[in-house]
Amino acid sequence: MNNKFFTPRMMLILTAILVAAFMRLVPHWPNFTPVAAIALFSGAHISRKSFAYLIPFAAMFISDIFLGFHSTMIAVYAAFGITVLLGSFMRNRVKVGNIALASVASSLIFFLITNFASWMSGMMPYTRDLSGLIQAYITGIPFFNNGLAGDLMYNTILFGGFYFVTQRFPAFSKA
């Protein structure tokens, strides 16, 4: 790795992400975690695509070692991968409206993918038909509400905090 990557800006970004990732290990409401915000923030601010994807996946994997693995992990990681992609679309257009829209979109994508995977896995007592799928989505609504609230809060902290730090200390705003 070259030293061009580990600039003060990148160290600030990585520190913010690590602090947010730690929050997954402390007690929290179901789905009220910073991982989607980390994924969106990584996609928006880390120009090396491999690192932008690696960071939220590593945060998930390391915390999953402590929290446990499950049969729908692929769906969870896929949803966060799509969120990194959403963030990369915002890379040169990081604005409040875009962040809010991407936060809601990432929450909705996570909800749709993971509830579908839960229904498909047979882990839950849903019938394997359309009514079972609808029941899986209805049952997941409280988790969606928590996820959306968490995504909005953590995105506000990550993106807003990064913005204010770069305004106060211009050295961090340089690529």
**78-123 pLDDT, tens digit each:** 999 999 999 999 998 999 999 999 999 999 999 999 999 999 998 8
DSSP labels, 155-175 = HIIIIIHHHHHHHH-GGGG--
Confidence of residue 3 (pLDDT cuts 50, 70, 90): low
DSSP labels, 12-59 = HHHHHHHHHHHGGGS---TT--SHHHHHHHHHHH--SHHHHHHHHHHH
At the topology level of CATH, where does 8-162 sit? Arp2/3 complex 21 kDa subunit ARPC3 (1.10.1760)
What is the mean predicted confidence (pLDDT) over 140-167?
A: 94
Backbone angles phi, psi at 55, to 5 degrees: -65, -55
What is the mean predicted confidence (pLDDT) over 31-44?
A: 92
